[in-house]
Amino acid sequence: MTLTIQPFTYSDDEYRVALDINAAVFNEPPDSLAEWQHDDQTRSADYAFYRDLVRRDNTVIAYVETYQNQYSYHPQKYECRIFVHPAHDGPDVRPFVLEHVLNKLRSENLIALTSGMLDDKPEAMRFFEEYGFKPVAEEKISKLDVTRFDDTQFEAIFERVRAAGITISTLRELQQHDPDWQRKLYDLDVTVNRDIPSTGEKIYRPFEEWLIYRLQGPAFDPDGWFVALDHGLYVGQSHGSISAEGDPVQFVTGVTSTRRDYRRRGIATALKIHAIRYAKAHGVPEIFTTNDSKNPMYQLNLALGFQPQPSWVRVEKSLIEG
């Protein structure tokens, strides 16, 4: 049986094929088609990005994304993420894709290629080891059973936050009362993201691009975006959105974070509980989230009752000879 690879055409049918493969790999309902399309349409043209489909004979069995990471940029490093449908996985798929990718990038003077996969995928992990990829980071994945979540046990946290003069508002409330909410939110977003672990140079979208990417996409939900304020200063945030495309309904999580000077005050916990309450009120049975293994938010999530799942292992292959 013959393997072939061809460029993604960005048709709805091909999106759905890739979404189904992604759902099978992560054992989750499919992501939002509209959100994938929004991400592709708002991706910066300053950084290379390729998506390809892999076929075995006439069946699409995998897709691969090869790109320069626009948020953690290094001019001589590319990322290559290979997602193979578990029902069609085999030892020949990833070597075939890797050869294709290295040929495509032959003129880029690369020093390294990074990739990753869930640590419960033995075929992928064997491939990484055999082809010289080394672990460089770990993304912790966890889930919360929202139906069993009891927020009454955290009332002392809310009292502590209130006593410190911190208030929590939805973004919709801020839209109505704060004419500078966009600039303040951008400042918060950029500031807190500086502290998120990274393996390259941090890159931030200009304000105008950020507006389109963050606030004009199909997942933007001002009712599910919570902001902590200290007398008008935006000091923390937690956000997510309800997606009814999957079955059951999902809560798609974003970043929960606070400014460095406001940590260890219970603010992030209070923000996260607001987001969980919002998901619960909308009938969401389960929340899926990720954190870098070095990010304290992972321990916070465990304290809230999130349960560990297979981790995403980030790996890197050196392409420097000698």
Alpha-helical (H) ranges within the chain are 12-26, 33-42, 93-104, 122-130, 155-163, 171-177, 181-193, 207-215, 267-281, 297-303
- Is the bond leading into 248 cis (omega within 30 degrees of zero)? yes
Q: What is the pLDDT of residues 159-182, one digit of tens each?
A: 999 999 999 999 999 999 999 999
pLDDT score of 247? 63
**CATH 3.40.630.30: which residues of the chain?**
3-131, 142-308
- In whole angstroms, how far apart are CA 183 and each of 174, 175, 191, 207, 234? 12, 12, 12, 8, 10
Q: What DSSP line would sit under 135-159, residue for residue?
A: EEEEEEEEEEEGGG--GGGGHHHHH
pLDDT score of 250? 77
CA 142/CA 291 separation, integer angstroms: 8
Do 31 and 19 touch, CB atoms closer than 8 A? Answer: yes
> How would residue 91 be classed by pLDDT, with cut points 50, 70 and 90?
very high
pLDDT score of 51? 98
Which whole number is the average pLDDT over 211-217? Answer: 91
The pair of three-digit structure tokens given for residue 268, joined into one six-digit string: 């992030």
pLDDT score of 244? 63
Half-sphere exposure of 39 (CA within 13 A, CB side): 11
Is residue 246 predicted with pLDDT exceeding 70? no
Instruction: Give the lowest-confidence range in 166-170, 187-191, 221-225, 249-253.
Output: 249-253
Fold of domain 3-131: Aminopeptidase (3.40.630)
- 98: nearest Cα among 73, 80, 120, 119: 80
Count helices and strands (H / E) in the chain: 10, 15
Which whole number is the average pLDDT over 183-207? Answer: 83
The angle, 0 to 180 degrees and rounded to 10, between the axes of the packed helices 267-281 and 155-163 is 130
> How would residue 249 be classed by pLDDT, with cut points 50, 70 and 90?
confident
Q: What percent of the chain has pLDDT over 70?
A: 97
Q: What is the pLDDT of residues 92-128, one digit of tens each?
A: 999 999 999 999 999 999 999 999 999 999 999 999 9
Q: What is the pLDDT of residues 252-275, one digit of tens each?
A: 788 899 999 999 999 999 999 999
Do 267 and 258 touch, CB atoms closer than 8 A? Answer: yes
In whole numbers, what is the pLDDT of the chain averaged over residues? Answer: 92
The pair of three-digit structure tokens given for residue 112, joined into one six-digit string: 């390294």
Read off the pTM.
0.89
Is residue 30 predicted with pLDDT exceeding 90? no
CATH for 142-308, options being 3.40.50.150, 3.30.465.10, 3.40.630.30, 1.10.357.10:
3.40.630.30
**Residue scoring higher pLDDT (67 or 250):** 67
